[in-house]
Amino acid sequence: MITLTIDGKEITIEDGKTLLDAARENGIDVPTICFHEATTANAICRICVVEVEGQRVLQPACIVKAGAGMKVQTRSEKVIRARRTILEMLASTMDLSEADDIQAMMYDYGASSSRFPDAERRESEVKDDNPMYVRDYSKCLLCWRCVQVCADDAQYTYAINFEGRGYETQIGTFFDKPIPETTCVLCGQCVGVCPTGALKPKREFLLEQGMSPQEISVLNTGRKNRSKVKSQRS
């Protein structure tokens, strides 16, 4: 066991835990976006940064191990300013309209969606190429959760990954193939972990487009019949 101080509170935890574990297990709130209990923490979004005495830069709580004698501040002025800026950059470049948790954080940190008016926005057409889910990468913040559950953290399918460099980085399939032509098994785990609505069940998408449950049912029956005919022919 080790002892450290978080926000002035002395905390004793098991050695090997992260600062995020230490805070949350002791009722101290640290916001996260890219972090998910089911995926490997990678400190991509940096919203969980905290101030550790003696460290020059803010530390991502999701990956930094708690150390004996550490003195940590989770809501210092520097931390709040950093989180606010991260949220403002996200809001300037992507569509957060369905990211309720992030919108709540923006309110909490007083972040303005118009702080960077000249920022280039991430634009993308909705990719509707399979019967299970649609992909709208204008809502994607590149948290990597979908890639992780598709790969070593859960499914071992490797249908999607990062592609492109720098500002052009996005999630995609190999050679931008439609989902049915990839190794995707339509397990839906990527949809389940997406924090922004960039990945959405097809049914939900069609309902939002104004289709009735009956129309969706007819659409699905037609699709099933087509695949039956296809398998009988082959």
Q: Which residues bind ligand SF4 (CB under 6 A)?
A: 140-146, 171, 193-196, 198-199
Exposure string of 33-57, with b = 16+ CB inside 10 Å and e = fewer, is bbbbeebebebbbbbbbbbbeeeee
Question: Roughly how many angstroms between the first and final C-alpha of the chain, as a whole number?
Answer: 63
Least spacing, CB of residue 27 vs ligand SF4, in Å:
28
Least spacing, CB of residue 165 vs ligand SF4, in Å:
16
The label of the residue with tokens 């230490």 reads 22
Least spacing, CB of residue 190 vs ligand SF4, in Å:
6
Packing angle between helix 77-93 and helix 100-108, nearest 10 degrees?
140
Least spacing, CB of residue 148 vs ligand SF4, in Å:
9
Nearer residue to ligand SF4 within complex by CB, 70 or 199: 199
Nearer residue to ligand SF4 within complex by CB, 119 or 211: 119
Nearer residue to ligand SF4 within complex by CB, 33 or 66: 33
Least spacing, CB of residue 117 vs ligand SF4, in Å:
23
Nearer residue to ligand SF4 within complex by CB, 62 or 140: 140
Q: How many CB atoms lie within 10 A of CB 109?
A: 20
Would strands 71-73 and 170-173 be described as parallel, antiparallel, or unpaired?
Answer: unpaired
Q: Is 110 helix (H, G, I), strand (E, B) or coil?
A: coil
Handedness of CA 37, 42, 46, 49 (dihedral sign): positive
Nearer residue to ligand SF4 within complex by CB, 155 or 196: 196
